[in-house]
C-alpha cells in the first residue's frame, strides 16, 4: 500500500499504511445454474442490444435527462492531486471534538525502519493527551482529510469525511419543549442501569457464523460442484503482436 513519512515542524517519521479493518462479509460468486460456470459482468448497450467493449466506453457527467458532459481519463488525471510521500500534519486537535459521523475508513500506520523511536514517542504523547494530528493526504488519486491518532500505543489513521459530505441535521432534533426534571432523572437512571465497559468482543455477526456453519456442513457432505474449464478465446492479445507472430510462424513453417 502506501509508504512515506509523517511530518510536522522538525519531526519526520517513516511509516507505511495497512488496513485496520477487514469486513467480515461472506461473498459469493454468481454461477450459471446449468453448468456452474462463473458469471462475469459486462456493459450492455440497450439501444444497440449488444455488449460494449472497453475501448468503446467513455464517462459522462449527467446534467439532465439524456444530456451529459463527456470527460476523458486524461482530463480526470489532469485534475487529480499528485501522489504524496508525506502526511503533513497541519494542526493538532482534541479527538473528542470530532464527531464519529466524520469517520470514514480506519488504517494503521506501521513504523518503517529507523522510525520506531519517534513513532513511539508521538503515539504515547497523543494517547495521554487524546490529541490527534489533522493532515491532508493523497491516497490513490484522491486527497483526504485525515486524523492521525493513537490506538493503544500504535498510530492509526482515519480518513475523515469533508464537512460538505456530512448531511445537515437541521430539522432532525424535535422542537424544544419543556422536559421535566423527573423525566430526565428517570431516563438517566435507566441508562446508568445498563452501563457497561465497551467490549466489542461480546458481539459477533450471527448470520455470518451461521453461513460458515452451513458451508462447513455442505463441505462435509461433499456438496461441491465444479465449473467447466474456461475456454480461452483464441487469437486474443494485442492485434499487432498477434499479426507479427502469425507472420513469423508462417515463415518458419515454410522454411522447414
Partner 1 sequence: MNRKVVEISGRRFPLSNLEKELYPSHGFTKAHVLEYYRRMAAFILPHLKDRALTLKRYPDGVDKDFFFEKRCPSHHPAWVKTAELFHKDERMTVCLVNNPETLLWVGNLASLELHVPLARTVAPETPDAMVFDLDPGEPANILSCARVALTLRELLSRLRLAGYPKTSGQKGLHVFVPLNYREATFEDTRQFSKTVALIMQKNYPDLVTSKMAKEERKGKVFINWSQNDASKTMICVYSLRAREKPFVSFPLEWGELERLAGQGDPESFQVIHSEAVNRAEETGDLFREVLVKEQRLPHL
81-110 residues in contact with partner 1 (CB under 8 A) are 110
Among residues 5, 16, 102, 211, the one that binds partner 1 under rule CB under 8 A: 16
In 3D, which of 80, 62, 82 has the Cα closest to residue 70?
62
- Among residues 111 and 131, whose Cβ is nearest to partner 1? 111
In 3D, which of 149, 139, 136 has the Cα closest to residue 93?
149
Q: Does 112 bind partner 1 (CB under 8 A)?
A: yes
Q: Does 55 bind partner 1 (CB under 8 A)?
A: no
Q: Does 253 bind partner 1 (CB under 8 A)?
A: yes
Candidate segments 43-51, 138-146, 187-195, 234-242, binder of partner 1 by CB under 8 A: 234-242
CB of 85 to partner 1, least distance (A): 15
Q: Does 232 bind partner 1 (CB under 8 A)?
A: yes
Q: How far apart are the first and last CA of the chain?
A: 51
How far apart, in whole angstroms, are the C-alpha atoms of residue 243 and residue 179?
82
Candidate segments 12-20, 32-40, 137-145, 183-191, binder of partner 1 by CB under 8 A: 12-20
How far apart, in whole angstroms, are the C-alpha atoms of residue 147 and residue 131?
10
Q: Does 176 bind partner 1 (CB under 8 A)?
A: no
For residue 135, what are the β-bridge partners?
89, 146
Query: Are 43 and 56 in contact, with CB atoms under 8 Å apart?
Result: no
How far apart, in whole angstroms, are the C-alpha atoms of residue 105 and residue 144?
11
Candidate segments 13-21, 27-35, 49-57, 152-160, binder of partner 1 by CB under 8 A: 13-21
- Among residues 31 and 242, whose Cβ is nearest to partner 1? 242
Q: Does 234 bind partner 1 (CB under 8 A)?
A: yes
Question: 92 CB contacts (<8 Å, ≥6 apart)?
Answer: 131, 132, 133, 134
Query: Are 39 and 141 in contact, with CB atoms under 8 Å apart?
Result: no
Q: Does 35 bind partner 1 (CB under 8 A)?
A: no
Residue count, binding to partner 1 (CB under 8 A): 26
Q: Does 252 bind partner 1 (CB under 8 A)?
A: yes
Beta carbons within 10 angstroms of residue 255's beta carbon: 5
Q: Does 65 bind partner 1 (CB under 8 A)?
A: no
Query: Are 52 and 45 in contact, with CB atoms under 8 Å apart?
Result: yes
List residues near partner 1 by CB under 8 A. 1, 16, 18-19, 110, 112-113, 229, 232, 234-238, 240-246, 248-249, 251-253
Amino acid at each position: 500500500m502506501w509508504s512515506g513519512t509523517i511530518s510536522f515542524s522538525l519531526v519526520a517519521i517513516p511509516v507505511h499504511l495497512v488496513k485496520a479493518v477487514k469486513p467480515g462479509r461472506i461473498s459469493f460468486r454468481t454461477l450459471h445454474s446449468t453448468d456452474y460456470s462463473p458469471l462475469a459482468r459486462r456493459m450492455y448497450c440497450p439501444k444497440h442490444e449488444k455488449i460494449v467493449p472497453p475501448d468503446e466506453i467513455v464517462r459522462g457527467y449527467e446534467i439532465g435527462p439524456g444530456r451529459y458532459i463527456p470527460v476523458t481519463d486524461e482530463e480526470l488525471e489532469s485534475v487529480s492531486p499528485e501522489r504524496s510521500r508525506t502526511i503533513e500534519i497541519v494542526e493538532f486537535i482534541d479527538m473528542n471534538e470530532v464527531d464519529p459521523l466524520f469517520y470514514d475508513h480506519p488504517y494503521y500506520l506501521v513504523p518503517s525502519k529507523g522510525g520506531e523511536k519517534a513513532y513511539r514517542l508521538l503515539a504515547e504523547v497523543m494517547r495521554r493527551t487524546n490529541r490527534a494530528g489533522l493532515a491532508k493526504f493523497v491516497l490513490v488519486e484522491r486527497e483526504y482529510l485525515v486524523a492521525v491518532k493513537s490506538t493503544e500505543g500504535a498510530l492509526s489513521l482515519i480518513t475523515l469525511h469533508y464537512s460538505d459530505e456530512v448531511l445537515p441535521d437541521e430539522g432532525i432534533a424535535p422542537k424544544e419543549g419543556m422536559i421535566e426534571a423527573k423525566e430526565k432523572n428517570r431516563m438517566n437512571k435507566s441508562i446508568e442501569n445498563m452501563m457497561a465497559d465497551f467490549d466489542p468482543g461480546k458481539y459477533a455477526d450471527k448470520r455470518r457464523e451461521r453461513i460458515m456453519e452451513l458451508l462447513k456442513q455442505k463441505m462435509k457432505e461433499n456438496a461441491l460442484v465444479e465449473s467447466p474449464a474456461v475456454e480461452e478465446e483464441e487469437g486474443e492479445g494485442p492485434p499487432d503482436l498477434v499479426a507479427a507472430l502469425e507472420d513469423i510462424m508462417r515463415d518458419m513453417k515454410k522454411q522447414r
